Chain A
Amino acid sequence: MVRDGAEERENRKMWERKIGITPGMSSFIFLSHIFLFAVWQLSLMNGAIQVLSRFLRSKRARVLLMVSACLLTGYFLTPVLLNEVGEGLIREDKLVKADVIVALGGDHRCNREKRAAELYHQGWANNVVVSGLQYAWGFHTGEAARAYVMNLGVPEEKISIIRETLNTRAEAKILEQLMRERGWRSAIIVTSAFHSRRATYTVEKAARDRTFHSSPVPAGSPEWAPDRWWSRRGDVYLTVRELVSWANTLVNGWQ
């Protein structure tokens, strides 16, 4: 290594002699180049800072900055807000004893009926209502739901059916009549999580003198889930449809 360093010094001296400069001058030239480069860079930077500060003082820059800030905030806030929208669709009340458990219709997987049977067995109410539609070929989805609830151990005489329920408002009207006929004062509404707030709102509006508690099917796959709902095609459909239905319910639109 020592020999290498000495060799390098010797080479440099030879090279200095060759191009005709005094020994040690090359180091000076090198350092002065670095100094000049630094000065040039600083002046460039200074110029750039001046241009930037002038630009930042302009109206266009302020608008650009504001738009960038909004976009950045939007990028980070949108998932939080969308999750909140999903959570906002759910209403889950503290369970109290009621006269009847109502499993609203429209669940092809029958999770609502399953949840209603669970609540019945836990003793939250003595009656169960299921709901459905009459099809042209002589079958009724409500009958199938009743068969399922019976299969889960609820006695036949404890189950009633709401028929001809094309939508939640129609269902709420028929439920109100049924509760009046049977003298039931309170009900636990069982439906899918995404439907729970609107369903409870609708039945409360249809039967103001009665008490309702919401106990939805727990959210989660394959049913709808509020967390990152926009990433799943089925959940997006249900959420958007629910929001449209909310708008329709609030303006008292199509029935």
Chain B
Amino acid sequence: MGRKRIWLRRALISLCLLLAGCVVLFFALPKLLIAPANVAKSDVILHSSISTQSTADEYVVDLYRQGVARKIVCVSSQISWELYPGDYAREHLISLGVPAEDVLSLRLPVAPCDAVNLPTVAEFVKAHGWRSALLITHPEDSRYAARVARRFFEREGVSTAVSYAPEDREELTRNWWRTHWKTQRMVAEAMSITLDLFYAECR
């Protein structure tokens, strides 16, 4: 009886520790996922921070005006019937004053993970003769994007840096655990990173 109680106590303590670990991990997600923004002078800006909650367009235009890069490529996959948000982001950037010839839209197929489409993007960059690229991503994707992009782009001889709009970061991390879309994005990113470790096509 005494031994059973000891085992029960051990099991309960393990469960509590596991739960505490999960809680700590959950609240540490912003620290784990968001890397410091790294703006480096590049040949092209790859703008993929295109979503309903993002305000990265203005940030991208600022970078363009500061001369960080001379070309911008809006990268997106289909989100509805023949609807690529990158096309609209391009129009928006033009309306904000970027010359039309300096903004392109790159359409990608719907893919289960970033690693599937990144070789296409890297080839696109290389084909245009660009040797360096600045990736503008969603803040929660920054650390992982930096790692994955470096692997695919360096293979093509293209150096990369990753950044995001400071306003996006501020908005995302403000009370994020109390808002559905913010929590959803954080957890989805954590899930994606974990899953990518187990599947060859995404590693």
Q: A interface vs B, CB < 8 Å?
A: 108-110, 113, 132-139, 141, 144-145, 147-148, 151, 166-167, 222, 232-234, 236-237, 240-241, 244, 254-255
> Is B88 in contact with A108, judged by CB distance below 8 angstroms?
no
Instruction: State which size class the interface on B falls in.
Output: 35 or more
Which residues of the partner chain A approach B191 to less than 8 Å between Cβ atoms?
237, 240-241
Closest to A236 in B: B195
Of the candidates A110, A134, A166, A234, which one forms a contact with B80 in the assembled complex, judged by CB atoms under 8 Å apart? Answer: A110
Tell me whether B91 is interfacial, beta carbon within 8 Å.
Answer: yes
A109 touches B78 (CB 8 A): yes
Contacts of A133 in B (CB 8 A): 52
**B82 beta carbon closer than 8 Å to chain A:** yes
- CB <8 Å contact, A244 and B113: no
Indicate if the CB atoms of A254 and B183 lie closer than 8 Å. yes
Closest 6 A-B residue pairs measured CB to CB?
Answer: A234-B112, A148-B81, A137-B88, A144-B80, A233-B199, A254-B180
Q: List 25 A-B contacts (CB under 8 A).
A: A108-B79, A108-B110, A109-B78, A135-B51, A136-B52, A136-B57, A137-B85, A137-B88, A137-B89, A138-B88, A139-B83, A144-B80, A144-B82, A145-B81, A148-B80, A166-B181, A167-B184, A222-B110, A233-B113, A234-B112, A237-B192, A241-B188, A254-B179, A254-B183, A254-B184
Our pick among B55, B79, B113 for the contact of A141 (Cβ within 8 Å) is B79
Does any Cβ of A come within 8 Å of B173's Cβ?
no
B92 part of interface (Cβ distance < 8 Å) = yes
Distance between Cα atoms of A37 and B79 in the complex (Å)? 78
